[in-house]
């Protein structure tokens, strides 16, 4: 009898009854609606793109051209950093370098940032990626366990989403739901659904290329699913046939062609990655990964870590209530496979901790605790719905319409937290305001047809604000480049030089050149740029860096267009590329005194420094030969 009921459980859309079809469509519509509302609120809000989000957008804009130049050892920042030859978004979340074997995420984001601009395009990319992953997870659950299991997965997915997870463009955040989806697709494949194998290959490849550490658990789950599939001899033979192996091979070839191209003709990045341990990423980034899956607010400081959150309670209570969403589904075969995949997830988590370098196991393992907890909650709910138990018998006695209505209400209530606007911290608000003001000033006054060299002195904060400025100038039509290599038609070389950070590792421009000589590193880059675009104009907030460089190079640098100080914005100077000279006039962002004070206090708190070097005095100390800059 149980077998007959299991056989009648609809697991294809065409097999659903009218009311079930409506419910299935409503689930998908709810996911899309939540994403649309979240994105609309984000775009209409006061936030701007800066820091690591802007960096990711800039890298995505030039991903294709960077791949095409893979034989160039000085490939631009998007794919080659610090001479490692690694596809990376270096320093995005606390570790010195997080190795990325391929540019998949950049290529996916490329049409979004090109079509919608860096700000709107990045957030649209993140929302689209997260919601697509949730829909794929629900579809795999439906094909394996039926409509009830799919509804449970959607409910859990909506509960674990928040505004940060949906729109924050860091791979520790936007890979949470794709990883979750990969585990559910692996479960579906393990039961014999070979049609989903190309999808599993694509998901796992995307995750591995975007974050080497995140890829460990999905890879282990995919291997376990393949091993389980091999126990279904007939299904495994179907997988080996061209109908399914062909699309799988095509997906793998498309996604891994750029890294393979680099391996054969470029820097052999894949070979280098084989001998590396997974990098640790720090407590803050790791806690965001755990918070994303448990719907906890992200921690700003390690000492703020705690589990006393209403969101965790909300998730557990809603999970208990959502059991009422599902009709009774009889016992079915995939329970065994689900337990095996869950075991693979736990083993993969332990593998990540083992591969992480000494001292980072606990912090880095928090990512996998978060994903494992989320998947275990989902698996526990699925098993509760499909195994004979008192709760299942009680649910079966309920009126079907009551179950359906209650389920829709629960899902709707679960989505309500997503609709609340996210409040920025005071520090973020200052940076947003500073970036917007500076961007507005530069976009209005900087001539986009003139080659510029912008040199910013400072640490990560300088890069964060500079990235935002560059991204917004790019959206405004000013073609700029941050890094060493500059493509034809681009008019600015953006450099950032800074002190050693708290870990004693050189940051800023030092990562583009010799670690022992920051000045030599960026001066070499400027020489190369000036040779192709001379004469150029230079802007900086640290005249000590550029004064020695300018001496003897007046044939390529226009003296009357050179910035040598930022006294008007001394508090903001290290992170704002402030005090630009253009046609003899100082460009100064018009910021209120209270904002300047706030930014200065924030930067002092971050161990950055400021300069007060009057531009006129610095100009008097230098001598220039006569240069005709009118043609530029």
Mean pLDDT over 260-266 rounds to: 74
What pLDDT is stored for residue 337 in this prediction?
Answer: 76
Q: What is the pLDDT of residue 374?
A: 58
3-state secondary structure of 439: helix
Residue 458: what pLDDT?
45
Q: What is the pLDDT of residues 369-414, one digit of tens each?
A: 555 555 666 666 666 555 554 545 554 455 455 455 555 555 554 4
| pLDDT tens-digit readout, 160-181 | 555 445 677 777 678 778 888 8
**pLDDT tens sequence across 65-105:** 544 433 332 223 233 332 233 333 333 222 334 456 777 88
- Mean of the pLDDT values across residues 143-172? 70
Highest mean pLDDT among 303-317, 348-362, 613-627: 348-362
Query: With 80 as the cut, is the pLDDT of residue 519 above it?
Result: no
**pLDDT, tens only, 464-495:** 556 666 676 666 665 555 543 334 444 455 55
Domain ranges (residues) in the chain? 2-419, 427-620
| Structural tokens at position 119 | 């700000």
111, pLDDT greater than 80: yes
pLDDT at residue 244 is higher than 70: yes
Q: So what's the pLDDT on residue 205?
A: 93
Range from 36-50, 106-120, 130-144 carrying the lowest mean pLDDT: 36-50
Residue-wise pLDDT tens digits, 549-581:
555 555 555 443 333 323 323 333 333 333 222
Structure tokens at 218: 């999905």
Tokens representing residue 564 in the block: 């040598």
Q: Is the pLDDT of residue 10 over 50?
A: yes
Q: What is the pLDDT of residue 603?
A: 37
**pLDDT bucket at 243, cuts 50 / 70 / 90:** confident
For residue 355, what pLDDT is reported? Answer: 64
Return the top range by mean pLDDT from 332-346, 375-389, 577-591.
332-346
- What per-residue confidence (pLDDT) applies to 222? 92
Q: Extract the tokens encoding 459.
A: 């640490």
Residue 463 CA to residue 498 CA, distance in Å, equals 9
pLDDT exceeding 90 applies to what percent of the chain?
4
Please provide the size of the chain in residues: 632
Q: How far, in Å, CA of 402 to CA of 69, rounded? A: 61
Cis bond before residue 535 (omega within 30° of 0): yes
HEC string of 157-172 equals HHHHCCHHHHHCCCHH
| pLDDT at residue 223 is higher than 80 | yes
Q: Which residues contact 424 (CB under 8 A, 6 or more apart)?
A: 46, 47, 432
- Which of 23-27, 145-149, 187-191, 545-549 shows the lowest per-residue confidence on average (mean pLDDT)? 545-549
**Pairing verdict, β 506-508 and 87-88:** unpaired
pLDDT score, position 295 = 39
Please write down the long-range contacts of 589-593, taking CB distance under 8 Å and 24 or more positions apart: 589/434, 589/437, 589/438, 589/440, 589/441, 590/437, 590/441, 591/433, 591/434, 591/437
For the segment 496-512, the average pLDDT, to the nearest whole number, is 31
Give the least confident one: 55-64, 94-103, 206-215: 94-103
Q: According to the model, what pLDDT value does residue 116 have?
A: 86
Mean pLDDT of 307-316: 39
Q: What is the mean pLDDT of the chain?
A: 58
The confidence score (pLDDT) of residue 200 equals: 94
């Amino acid at each position: 009898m149980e077998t007959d009921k299991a056989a009648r459980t609809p697991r294809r859309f065409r097999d659903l009854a009218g009311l079930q079809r409506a419910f299935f469509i409503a689930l998908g519509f709810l996911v899309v609606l939540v994403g649309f509302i979240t994105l609309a609120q984000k775009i209409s809000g006061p936030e701007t793109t800066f820091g690591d989000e802007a960096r990711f957008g800039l890298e995505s804009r030039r991903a294709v051209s960077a791949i095409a130049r893979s034989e160039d050892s000085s490939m631009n920042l998007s794919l080659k950093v610090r001479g490692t030859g690694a596809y990376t978004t270096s320093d995005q979340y606390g570790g010195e370098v997080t190795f990325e074997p391929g540019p998949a995420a950049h290529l996916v984001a490329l049409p979004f940032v090109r079509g919608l601009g860096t700000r709107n395009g990045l957030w649209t990319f993140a929302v689209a990626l997260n919601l697509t992953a949730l829909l794929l997870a629900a579809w795999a659950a439906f094909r394996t366990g039926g409509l009830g299991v799919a509804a449970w997965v959607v409910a859990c997915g909506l509960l674990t989403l928040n505004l940060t997870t949906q729109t924050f463009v860091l791979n520790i955040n936007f890979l949470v739901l794709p990883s979750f989806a990969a585990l559910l697709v692996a479960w579906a494949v393990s039961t014999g659904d070979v049609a989903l194998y190309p999808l599993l290959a694509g998901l796992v490849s995307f995750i591995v290329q975007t974050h080497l550490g995140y890829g460990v658990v999905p890879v282990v789950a995919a291997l376990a699913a393949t091993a389980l599939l091999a126990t279904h001899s007939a299904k495994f033979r179907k997988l080996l046939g061209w109908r399914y192996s062909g699309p799988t091979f095509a997906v793998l070839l498309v996604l891994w062609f750029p890294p393979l191209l680099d391996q054969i003709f470029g820097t052999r990045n894949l070979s280098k990655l084989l001998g590396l341990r997974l990098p640790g990423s720090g407590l803050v980034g790791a806690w965001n990964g755990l918070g994303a899956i448990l719907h906890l607010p992200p921690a700003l400081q390690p000492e703020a870590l705690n589990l006393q959150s209403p969101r965790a309670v909300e998730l557990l209570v809603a999970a208990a209530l959502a059991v009422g969403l599902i009709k009774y589904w009889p016992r079915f075969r995939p329970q065994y496979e689900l337990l095996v995949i869950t075991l693979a997830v736990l083993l993969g988590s332990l593998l990540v901790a083992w591969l992480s370098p000494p001292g980072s196991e606990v912090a880095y393992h928090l990512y996998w605790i978060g994903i494992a907890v989320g998947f275990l909650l989902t698996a526990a709910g699925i098993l509760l719905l499909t195994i004979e138990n008192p709760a299942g018998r009680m649910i079966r006695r309920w009126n079907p319409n009551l179950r359906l209505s209650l389920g829709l209400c629960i899902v709707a209530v679960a989505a309500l937290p997503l609709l609340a606007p996210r409040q920025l911290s005071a520090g973020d608000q200052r940076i947003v305001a500073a970036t917007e003001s500076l961007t507005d000033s530069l976009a209005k006054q900087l001539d986009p047809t003139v080659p510029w060299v912008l040199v910013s002195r400072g640490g990560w904060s300088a890069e964060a604000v500079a990235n935002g400025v560059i991204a917004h100038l790019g959206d405004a039509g000013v073609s700029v480049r941050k890094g060493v290599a500059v493509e034809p038609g681009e008019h600015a070389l953006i450099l950032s030089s800074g002190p050693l950070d708290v870990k004693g590792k050189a940051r800023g421009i030092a990562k583009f050149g010799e670690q022992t000589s920051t000045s030599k590193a960026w001066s070499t880059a400027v020489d190369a740029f000036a040779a192709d675009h001379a004469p150029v104009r230079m802007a900086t907030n640290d005249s000590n860096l550029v004064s020695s460089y300018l001496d003897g190079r007046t044939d390529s640098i226009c003296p009357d267009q050179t910035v040598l100080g930022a006294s008007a914005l001394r508090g903001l100077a290290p992170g704002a590329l402030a005090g630009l000279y253009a046609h003899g006039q100082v460009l100064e962002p018009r910021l209120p005194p209270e904002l300047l004070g706030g930014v200065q206090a924030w930067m002092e708190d971050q161990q950055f420094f400021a300069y007060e070097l009057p531009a006129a005095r610095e100009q008097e100390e230098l001598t220039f030969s006569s240069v005709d800059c009118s043609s530029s």
